[in-house]
Structure formats: C-alpha cells, structure tokens
C-alpha cells in the first residue's frame, strides 16, 4: 500500500513591514506625530507657555523700545545717538567690557584649572570667594572698590597712578563682576576632562605648551567662549558697581548705561530710547558673532 505524498512546505514569505514616509519631510512628520512620555504636561501646553513667557519678558519690552524710537525722525535719531558725548560713552563701555572679558577669560581659565586639578588648604574658601560678586549687591561692590582704589584708599594710596574716577576704575569694576561667569562655566568641563589625555600626550613626547595647545584648549574652548560671552554681556549692562568708582565725567569716564539714566532724569525719553536701541543692536551683533564662533569651534572639534 503506497503512502500518500507529503505536501511540500510552501516557501515562507517575508512579513510585510509597515511603510514609512519617504523623504526628509516624511521623517520629520513622523517624528512630529510620535508622542513621547514627558514629565511636562503636553507639547502644546509647554510650547505655548514657553512662547508666552519669552514674549512677555523679552519680546514685548524690546518691541516697545523699537516702537518708541520709530516715532523719531532720522535727523533727531542720529543727533541723539551720534553726539560726541554719546560716542565717547560707547567707546568706553564697549572697550572696557571687551578688555575685562578677555582678561577674565585668561585668568578665569587658570583659576578654574587650579580649583579642579589641585587639592590644597583653603580650597573651599577660595571656591566660595569666586561667587562673591554674584551675591554682593552692585552698590556695595562699587563702594568697596572706591574705598580700595581711591587716592587715599588702602590700595590706591600706594599706586603711582590714579584708578578711581578714571576709565581704569571702570575696567577694574568690570573685572570684578565678570570673573565668576568664566570660572563657573569652565569648571564642569575641566572636571569631566580626564588626565589620561595629558598623560598620553606626555608619553608621545609633547611639551606642556603643546599639550595645552593641541589637547586641552580645543576641548575647553566652547566653554571658554561661552564664559567670555557671558562676562562681556554682563559688563555691557553693568551700572551699580561702576558709577561709584568711575566718577561719571562726560567724555572721560561716563558709561552708556549712566548716560541713559541721565537722559531719563532730564525727561529726554526719546534720546534715552534711541541710545538703548543702539546698545541693543550692537550687543546683539557682537553676541551673534561670538555664538557663530562657538558653533564653528564645536564643529571643528567634532571633526
């Protein structure tokens, strides 16, 4: 009796996969539609709150400044922002802020390196001392610096040159308030920087300068640029600590924020607003350049 033929197994067919939207726009759409579990209650609500808060705190005041200036004629605007007294205040404010931020970037890197890499007696005290300009009221800082650097002050009486009530006093005040921004920005990066990189460079015969130039500096440069930008932006708008030590002499030691306050006290609201717009635009351009430089540094580091 012959056995019945065994049916041959049918060839397996691949399981159909769900179709995906083609193209970059499809991928973006699929990512947009995917719901992810987040702590905050919903994307729409979180985004709406973010835009509302930024508009209320940032965009509305800035828009009001531009709208106030828009009512001025061009000759009146140019006269308000380009008079010799105003130009002198621009020169002092931006020059002193830039110089102070550069010095703080250099010395802030050294201070952050010492606080991260070395253990010594009084380290916690020095680390807390860095935050003092954050906590100290600006008026108190200005009075303290004036008492130190005046001609009869504790330090000023021994100096062969005058510090208080000169542009140099403005520079000293901006150094004081800008240092913590650089140190606190660099510290987390240096803490994550392993010493194995330095040991490997030394093993390959690199000198200390070569190790710093080619190993350490490329890693910390984005944080260093960020700290410089924060210190520079903080110095541009500083008022309280500067007015006491600057002397506020027109064409000599008068900063732009003080000139804006002077215009407001004279009920020259349009003049104060015009100067504010120029400061805002110049600050925005300089910070944009710094951010582009930072992005370029990160791309170069990634390559």
pLDDT tens per residue, range 123-172: 999 999 999 988 888 889 999 999 999 988 889 899 999 999 899 999 99
Is 33's pLDDT higher than 60? no
Nearest C-alpha neighbor of 232 from the set 293, 289, 178, 168: 178
Least reliable range by pLDDT among 28-42, 53-67, 176-190: 28-42
Q: How confident is the model at residue 240 (pLDDT cuts 50, 70, 90)?
A: confident
Q: Is 131 helix (H, G, I), strand (E, B) or coil?
A: coil
Least reliable range by pLDDT among 20-34, 129-143, 214-228: 20-34
Q: How far apart are the first and last CA of the chain?
A: 77
Q: How confident is the model at residue 261 (pLDDT cuts 50, 70, 90)?
A: very high
Roughly what angle, to the nearest 10 degrees, separates helices 167-192 and 138-149?
A: 120
Query: pTM of the entire structure?
Result: 0.78
Task: State mean pLDDT over 16-25.
Answer: 50
Average pLDDT, the chain: 83
Nearest C-alpha neighbor of 252 from the set 82, 109, 88: 88
Alpha-carbon 273 to chain mean position: 24
Residue 221 CB-density burial (10 A; 0-12 exposed, 13-18 middle, 19+ buried)? middle
Instruction: State the pLDDT at residue 32.
Output: 47
């Amino acid at each position: 009796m012959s056995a019945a033929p065994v049916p041959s197994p049918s060839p397996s067919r691949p399981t159909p996969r769900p179709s995906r939207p083609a193209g970059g726009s499809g991928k973006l759409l699929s990512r947009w539609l995917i719901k992810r579990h987040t702590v905050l209650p919903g994307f729409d609500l979180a985004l709406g709150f973010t835009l509302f808060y930024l508009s209320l705190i940032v965009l509305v005041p800035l828009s009001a400044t531009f709208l106030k200036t828009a009512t001025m004629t061009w000759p009146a605007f140019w006269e308000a922002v380009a008079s010799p007294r105003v130009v002198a205040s621009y020169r002092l404010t931006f020059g002193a802020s830039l110089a102070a931020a550069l010095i703080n970037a250099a010395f802030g890197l050294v201070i952050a390196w010492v606080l991260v890499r070395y253990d010594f007696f009084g380290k916690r005290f020095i680390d807390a001392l860095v935050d003092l300009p954050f906590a100290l009221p600006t008026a108190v800082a200005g009075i303290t610096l004036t008492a130190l650097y005046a001609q009869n002050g504790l330090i000023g009486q021994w100096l062969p040159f005058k510090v208080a009530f000169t542009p140099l006093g403005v520079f000293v005040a901006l150094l004081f308030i800008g240092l913590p921004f650089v140190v606190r920005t660099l510290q987390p990066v240096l803490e994550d920087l392993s010493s194995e990189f330095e040991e490997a460079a030394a093993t390959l015969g690199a000198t200390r300068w070569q190790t710093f130039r080619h190993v350490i500096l490329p890693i910390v440069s984005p944080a260093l640029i960020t700290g410089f930008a924060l210190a520079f932006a903080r110095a541009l708008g500083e008022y309280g600590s500067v007015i006491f030590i600057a002397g506020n002499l027109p064409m000599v030691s008068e900063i732009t924020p003080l000139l804006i306050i002077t215009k407001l006290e004279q009920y020259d609201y349009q003049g104060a607003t015009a100067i504010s717009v120029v400061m805002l635009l110049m600050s925005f351009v300089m910070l944009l350049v710094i951010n582009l430089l930072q992005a370029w540094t990160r791309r170069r580091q990634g390559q």
